[in-house]
Amino acid sequence: MAMGINVERYFVLAWMLAGFVALLGGLVWGNAIGVDTQLAALGLKVFPVVILGGLDSILGVIIGGVIVGVAEAISAGYVDPYVGGGTKDFTPYVLMILVLMFRPYGIFGKPIIERI
Amino acid sequence: MFHRESGYFKTTYQSDMALYPLPIGKAAIAGLAILFFIIFPLVLDEYYLTLVNLAAIAVVGALGLNILLGYCGQISIGHAAFMSVGAYTAANFAVHFHFPFWLTIPAGGAVAALIGLFVGLPALRVKGLYLAIATLAAQFIIEWTLNHTPIISGGIQASIEMPRPELFGEVLETQTEMYFFLMPLSVIAILATLNLVRSRIGRVFIAIRDQEIAAEIIGINVYRYKLLAFAVSSFYAGVAGVMATYYYGIANYEAFQLPISIDYLAMCIIGGLGSVLGSVFGAVFITLLPFGVRVFMETVGVYFVDGVYLAQVIAQMRLIIFGGLIIFFLVVEPEGLNKLWQNIRNYFRVWPFSY
């Protein structure tokens, strides 16, 4: 703000861009699987993707998305028959916690340097 | 006796830390005790006692989350999952081993605290949004585990019927009797929290919340106290879960899903982070909101909406008004209902002068 940046304007811009990109995702998803009111629950699934890849890395999001998608499909195909289904919903989260334990900022995230 | 101080006159740490800094505090507590334990059960209808009972359960859960979120600064979106752990533990003990309630409540809390310790482990490595999502994972994993372990939950989509609590050989069944069962637990939880947060542990929590690295430098074992915060918070959640199971009469995972976790987060944030009174305000507010919306829609809404659709509209309006009010309160007073209450109190304290 001290540098003459209109902070409010860029917050608005960031939110607008986020909404627009999410819209593209929603369009693709809706075309492939169909639209209903439960689609909003999908919003929770993006967190493992971005956190797995690292919060400030575009490459991380792409790779995280692929990893999460593949892991979901694998667990639905190979693990579900043994335990009775439903593992698809939380496999991404387990994977994410495992990654966070070794790389706290995701695979490609930048470590945050803390000051006192 | 009924006076307030006109300035800041505290000269010792003891007087600064006192629970009742003024005689009026004791009088107010006595008045509240009479109101809640004599007048409410006698005067209130069964229906309204239901609301008070639900609020009493929510107060315990919200206090637990506020210790973690408001005092220690660690976020958790898995609070409802800890409640379900407590609920299922108590239900299993009560059904299989015929434990009385004074054993199932600590047992449920203890097991929930144990699970909470595990869930708190990521907090040693990550914080902020990362930690929030890690606890969200715990919510899903616990939910799924309960649902798919027949030994615990009796099979998929099943629920365990909970025996009614007994006190001195008397089976507590009506709302009034449940009121006298739930309310003391809630009061104990409030007192315990008040004493916890002004003790050494509470001050360590606050130090960690305010500046983690600085806390570590002055010699606090941050990891230990973070895990402790998770354990304490989960203990409260477990107790709240046991209370809820006794109250509903069944243990079912559907009563403890993700939206409930978010409700508890909303309670803490609306009530005011880092204040005991705030958690009570938040819990009561969020619990009573759906009923308030219903009353409002049934009295005012009928003029706008056709009677046939009213039930559907109420269900939808509840969500809209819920979200709208949360945003409204946060914009008006970002520090929550507790701050609002303090503002009102300070206004009357110096009335008729402006300061």
Kindly list the domain boundaries of chain B, sorted by start residue.
34-273
Q: Which residues contact B53 (CB under 8 A, 6 or more apart)?
A: B175, B178, B179, B182, B247
pLDDT beyond 80 at B348: no
Here the tokens at position A110 are 């930048």
pLDDT at A60: 85
pLDDT at B228: 92
pLDDT beyond 90 at B236: yes
Angstrom distances, CA of residue A90 to CA of A71, B118, B140, B142: 10, 17, 6, 10
CA distance B76 to chain A (A): 14
Q: Which residues contact B263 (CB under 8 A, 6 or more apart)?
A: B286
Of the candidate ranges A81-90, B27-36, B65-74, B216-225, the one whose mean pLDDT is the lowest: A81-90
Q: How many angstroms separate the CA atoms of B64 and B268, rounded?
A: 10
pLDDT at A33: 78
pLDDT at B322: 78
For residue B336, give the 3-state DSSP assignment: coil
Q: Give CA B149 to chain center in angstroms.
A: 28
Chain A residues whose CB is inside 8 A of the B212 CB are 114
pLDDT tier for residue B235 given thresholds of 50, 70 and 90:
very high
Model confidence pLDDT, tens digit, residues A7-64 = 899 999 999 999 999 899 888 888 887 777 777 777 778 888 888 888 788 888 888 8
Q: Which of B141, B84, B82, B143 is nearest to B115 (CA)?
A: B82
Q: Give the whole-number percent of chain B exceeding pLDDT 90.
A: 13
pLDDT at B237: 92
- Which of the residue ranges A97-106, B38-47, B163-172 has the most confident prediction, judged by mean pLDDT? A97-106
Asked whether B267 and B64 are in contact (CB, 8 A), the reply is: no
Helices B79-96 and B46-66: crossing angle, nearest 10°? 120
CA distance B303 to chain A (A): 28
Test B148 with A84 for CB contact under 8 angstroms: yes
Q: How many angstroms separate the CA atoms of A92 and A75, rounded?
A: 10
Angstrom distances, CA of residue A40 to CA of B77, B97, B115, B324: 18, 43, 29, 18
Of A86, A100, A116, the CB nearest to B130: A100
Q: How many angstroms separate the CA atoms of B124 and B230, rounded?
A: 11
Of B12 and B122, the structure prediction assigns the larger pLDDT to B122
Asked whether B237 and B118 are in contact (CB, 8 A), the reply is: no
- Report chain A's mean pLDDT, rounded to a whole number: 82
Model confidence pLDDT, tens digit, residues B299-343 = 776 677 666 677 777 777 777 887 888 788 778 877 888 888 888
pLDDT at A12: 94
Tokens 């009924």 belong to: B2
pLDDT beyond 60 at B2: no
pLDDT beyond 70 at B158: no
Test B140 with A84 for CB contact under 8 angstroms: no
pLDDT at B110: 92
A 10 A CB-CB count for B326 gives: 16
Q: Which residues contact B270 (CB under 8 A, 6 or more apart)?
A: B281, B282, B285, B286, B326, B329, B330, B336, B337
Test B213 with A116 for CB contact under 8 angstroms: yes
Test A84 with B156 for CB contact under 8 angstroms: yes
pLDDT beyond 50 at B1: no
Angle at B77 between CA B234 and CA A49, to 5 degrees: 135
Q: Which amino acid is residue B77, in one-letter code?
A: I
Q: Which amino acid is residue B342, in one-letter code?
A: Q
pLDDT tier for residue B249 given thresholds of 50, 70 and 90:
confident
pLDDT beyond 70 at A116: no
pLDDT tier for residue B239 given thresholds of 50, 70 and 90:
very high
Here the tokens at position B269 are 């944030």
CA gyration radius, chain B: 21
Model confidence pLDDT, tens digit, residues B91-133 = 888 888 878 888 888 988 999 999 999 888 888 877 778 888 8
Test B214 with A90 for CB contact under 8 angstroms: no
Of B169 and B281, the structure prediction assigns the larger pLDDT to B281
Chain B residues whose CB is inside 8 A of the A84 CB are 148, 156
B149 touches chain A (CB under 8 A): no
Q: Taken in order B149, B151, B155, B157, is the CA torsion positive or negative?
A: negative
Asked whether A109 and A60 are in contact (CB, 8 A), the reply is: yes
Asked whether B40 and B52 are in contact (CB, 8 A), the reply is: yes
pLDDT at A20: 93
pLDDT beyond 60 at B346: yes
Asked whether B275 and B66 are in contact (CB, 8 A), the reply is: yes
Beta strands at B166-167 and B250-251: parallel, antiparallel or unpaired: unpaired
A 10 A CB-CB count for B142 gives: 25
Beta strands at B166-167 and B170-171: parallel, antiparallel or unpaired: antiparallel
Q: Give the whole-number percent of chain A exceeding pLDDT 90.
A: 10
B140 touches chain A (CB under 8 A): yes
A82 touches chain B (CB under 8 A): no
Q: Which residues pair with B171 in a beta bridge?
A: B166
**Rounded (10°) CA dihedral B125, B128, B129, B133:** 50
Here the tokens at position A87 are 């593992």
DSSP state of B71: I
Beta strands at B160-161 and B250-251: parallel, antiparallel or unpaired: antiparallel
Model confidence pLDDT, tens digit, residues B172-212 = 777 777 888 888 889 899 989 988 988 899 999 999 988 88
Asked whether B270 and B339 are in contact (CB, 8 A), the reply is: no
